[in-house]
Amino acid sequence: MSTWKPITQIVQDVQSGTVSAVSLVEKSLAEIEAKADYRSIIAVTKERAFERAAQIDAQVAAGQSTGRLAGVPFIAKDNFLVFGADTTAASNILKGFDAPYQSTAIERLEAEGAICVAKANLDAFAHGSSTENSDFMTTLNPHDKTRVPGGSSGGSAAAVALELAPFALGTDTGGSIRQPASFSGVVGYKPTYGLVSRSGVVAMASSTDVIGPMTRTVEDAALVLDCMAGKDILDGTTIERAAEAYSQLGQQDLTGVKIGVIKEYFGEGLDSEVKTVIDQAIEKIKHAGATVEEVSLPSLKLALACYYIIVPAEISSNLSRYDGQRYGYFTDDADDLDHSYTQSRSIGFGDEAKRRIMIGTYVLSSGYYDAYYQKAQLVRTKLINEFKDAFNKYDVLLGPTAPTTAFKLGEHSSDPLEMYLTDIMTVAVNLAGVPAISLPAGLSDGLPVGVQLIANQSNDHQLLSIARSIEGVLV
């Protein structure tokens, strides 16, 4: 039996006075403490959470409006600026950083009555696919402690799977919501680029970073998205949200829905047992009335190489602000300013951050910009056009979220290229800026397998509606 009711029912209980917000915070913090051995949480925001819960209970008692998420505890990935705990992005270079303001996403959730109770672990600066790159701890998979939960939002995915709170927030730059959702057996939603403000979230790669919810059901994900979505003057990349509520999911069945199964995601490298689970899911979807056909996007084979040129280039720029002079880690025994920069960054950054800074600086350098970065952007444009062509024929595209189930702890730690290959089925979505969702599709040897659904830009409502229907046939 689930620890938590659906979010809408939790809110009804709080607003009716059946359950207090304070008791929900107590329950969430107790779950966090009881399951601390999975190491999914970096810090709790206990004092502030109880203050906010008491305020919500007082509003309920006074008959005042409390919002669509009244009293619902949630967990934020530790790259979101949040009051009540340090924001570290799981990196030593930001250890002790007390955020002077909160991210827009957190502010909007709090305006609807949600209560942040903790900060989740991640790969430092969201650089990774296993949560093993955290400078503080390695999160364990909720289904098998010898395996990774995925990354970089592994702490958030594990927190939802362990039912530490009804939902968690993640960021997705190349699959960092969807891949850990697949490995941990939860729902992970990556919205259209720009639909949710990135203001107040530690930047990784600004042209692909997206914020989204990790939940137990599609309906919960849609409600959380609905509370966060829309333009923000603090983020110039934000777009207008749909007039209709994302939480009002209209699609009731799959009759007439056209689904394109991505050919390139079923070739070499796909684990045979993962393929079996996805094939079984496809048969259930067909049986439910959807039209399912194979579709080819030829440039997908270039997506990972393209991604690992463009994203490190942006990382090298975004991480230049961590210089040990204004905030974060600094060395106090430097001989001069240049030495201070070098020492602070050499000690403060982990190996993966340094690796990406060096790659990014290299591809942007004189003589190599045209050879690498500019060509990668041309491939990106080609990829975007192939997605557009596919969506002229299909409502959604379908494939596995990841080529394997969760791998063993340490299995890819010494081989960065092997680690990067775990993102092979997710990075293209970020390069194209389109929305995607990972749903639990079944189990392979007791480990979760995720199926990925992709829709055209700004078709988030349609994607969520179809995903809810597919979720119903896969249960």
Between CA 227 and CA 27 the distance in angstroms is 23
How far from the centroid of its chain's Cα atoms is residue 208's Cα? 12
Evaluate the omega torsion of the peptide bond into residue 199 and state whether it is cis, within 30 degrees of 0.
no
| Inter-CA distances, 208 with 271, 308, 330, Å | 27, 12, 29
Q: Give the list of residues 6+ apart from residue 474 with CB closer than 8 angstroms, or none.
A: 281, 284, 439, 440, 441, 442, 451
How far from the centroid of its chain's Cα atoms is residue 401's Cα? 13
Which is catalytic among the residues 35, 77, 119, 190?
77
Sign of CA dihedral 62, 65, 70, 75: negative
Between CA 10 and CA 13 the distance in angstroms is 5
Confirm whether 469 is a catalytic residue: no
Which is catalytic among the residues 152, 197, 199, 340?
152
Confirm whether 438 is a catalytic residue: no
Structure tokens at 122: 């991640």
Between CA 151 and CA 134 the distance in angstroms is 10
Q: Of 422, 393, 390, 388, nearest to 408 (Cα)? A: 422
Which phi and psi (to 5°) does residue 463 adopt? -60, -45
Which is catalytic among the residues 103, 176, 458, 469?
176
Hunting for tokens 């300013």 — which residue is that? 337
DSSP string, 392-425: TT-SEEEEESSSSSPPBTTSSTT-HHHHHHTTTT
Confirm whether 77 is a catalytic residue: yes
Structure tokens at 248: 């009002």
Question: Regarding beta strands 447-454 and 436-444, do their DSSP bridges make them parallel or antiparallel, or are they unpaired?
Answer: antiparallel
Catalytic center residues: 77, 152, 176
